[in-house]
Amino acid sequence: MTTAGDIMHRGAQWIPAHETLDRAAQLMRQLNVGALPISDENERLCGILTDRDIVVGCVAMGHDPAKTTAGEMAKGTPRWIDADADISEVLQEMKGHQIRRLPVIENKRLVGMISEADLARHLPEDQIASFAESVYAQGATL
């Protein structure tokens, strides 16, 4: 059985909800990632911030990324998966919620992130095609 922990990329880092978007952008550049999980004061997942969120939801709206926090950008119920979850559960979660990145949690701690690239490296072509068809349907979120 292939698990979420088997295919995730390790080393994912939180951005605290109180941090500003300019700091988040700097951290994304440093880590060479396009998304960061957002944590509350108790290190619980409260959202995911993407580079697109910063550009479209802040800069393009005329807001100052040095004054806007990651927590202000957190919307909806954050999705995550346990490290021991089977790959079929990963696909179900990502397809069902039309998401392209999924934090992986183990013992209530962030241990990694699963992205589309991770799926592409580990899944057969038919499963990748099914994933892409469902996630890239009209209205999919980044």
pLDDT digits (tens, 9 = 90+) for 40-58: 988 889 999 999 999 999 9
Summarize the confidence of residues 16-38 as an average pLDDT.
95
Summarize the confidence of residues 88-102 as an average pLDDT.
90
Residue 74: band (very low, low, confident or very high) from pLDDT cuts 50, 70, 90: confident
Q: How is domain 4-135 classified at the architecture level of CATH?
A: Roll (3.10)
How much is the pLDDT for 137? 66
Residue 140: band (very low, low, confident or very high) from pLDDT cuts 50, 70, 90: very low
Residue 86: band (very low, low, confident or very high) from pLDDT cuts 50, 70, 90: very high
Mean pLDDT (the chain) is 89
Q: Which two structure tokens, joined as six digits, stand for 47?
A: 């959202």
Per-residue CA distances from 92 to 32, 62, 100, 138 (Å): 27, 37, 12, 18
43-65 exposure pattern, b = at least 16 Cβ within 10 A, e = fewer: eebbbbbbbebbeebbeeeeeeb
Distance (Å, rounded) from C-alpha 63 to C-alpha 106? Answer: 36
CA angle, residues 82, 137, 116, in degrees to nearest 5: 40
User: Do residues 137 and 98 make contact, with C-beta atoms less than 8 angstroms apart?
Assistant: yes
Break the chain into its structural domains and give their ranges. 4-135
